[in-house]
Chains A and B, each alone.
Chain A
Amino acid sequence: MTLDFWIEAVVKVILVFIVVLTAVAYMVLLERRVLAHIQSRIGPNRVGPQGLLQPAADAVKLMTKETVIPEAASRRIFLMAPVFTMVPALAAFAVIPFGDSITLFGRVIQLHIADVNIAVLYILAWSSIGVYGIFLGGWASNNKYALMGGLRSSAQMISYELTIGLVVVAVVLQSGSFSLVDTVTAQKPLWFVVTQPLGFVLFVIASMAEINRTPFDLPEAETELVAGYHTEYSGMRFAMYFLGEYANLMTVTALATLLFLGGWHMPFPSPAWMAPLWFVGKMMALILFMMWTRGTLPRFRFDQLMVFGWKVLLPLSLVNILVTASIVVVRS
């Protein structure tokens, strides 16, 4: 625990924090532009060149807006709930590796904040905590629509967490370790998306449901529930929910890239410093795919959603484990 170690750790944390928050802000802009083009319109392009200063304008607006607290709401919980959504989304980035290692100033720097041997479980544990933000916010608002949205959303998140967990089990079976760095290393010969395509599909679908994105966004559908669990939130707290949601999007796509798409491995040999760029590129491909589905598919009704999660995805993930386990056993 030398001084060098601490300086490196603090610099990495600050860097990741700033990059993730900025990326999340621009993700919102990207989504609005992508959705707009899918819907035959343009999207925000006035503020700054091609609308690139739009996130700054949004940030200023949200920060200067008054925080309205409903009178009969549970004040403490109301103020605390968005934290439970924002913190897990950001904390998951502590174990996500962006690349292998680079040599800078004579030191070998690993391109991750921490390489823990339970990295995948760590991320899953944080997403279990993320459920609290949703239904506490819904309940504390003392508002029928918010409460229903909150309960539905948390039921949905808990149900689809199971599928994600089981798909992760199958991946761990093949990679032999819960550590994300080891999982990426195990994909050097062949990406897991090739050996476990069903797992990949299940993971992407289940994570779309986990982060409350269309077609699984009934809990916050404007046409159904006003705005669901964040109906009564305004200003900075709404911004925290919003940012938490997009940060979650980045977390699950990063996880999908690391578990299935080979992390930072490049299909053709390239210099080592390009590894993070490949990683981000794969992430962006998944993110664009999710934005594309948002603009294309209608949303699930809540009972259809639950039936789909429990009666379709869960058995399929069990089949995935069975097949993967048999192949692993037969091979060894």
Chain B
Amino acid sequence: MPVPLAYFQILAGVLFGIGVMGVLFRRNILVIFMCVELMLNAANISLVAFGRALGSMDGQVVVLFALAVAAAEVAVGLAIIIDLFRKRGTVDVNEVNLLRG
């Protein structure tokens, strides 16, 4: 019996929700960043599932672009984190609060 489209969307939704929980809960900036990647991954699964269900290649192509964007984002994001770590000596986001009102 083939797997219904809905199951893939539910899986993507659950993964996305777990990623959101991670971003909200954790204080280590690297873990937060990893949860953002998890969310991106969940969105990719959803896109590919839709693309396949609708019989169109667009799902896969958009995911390819999303992958490229994620790679670029990770490169620059990690560079920023390293820079932050050098200046502030911590990876705890609660301690990077100079601009707090």
A–B contact with Cβ pairs below 8 Å: the answer is no
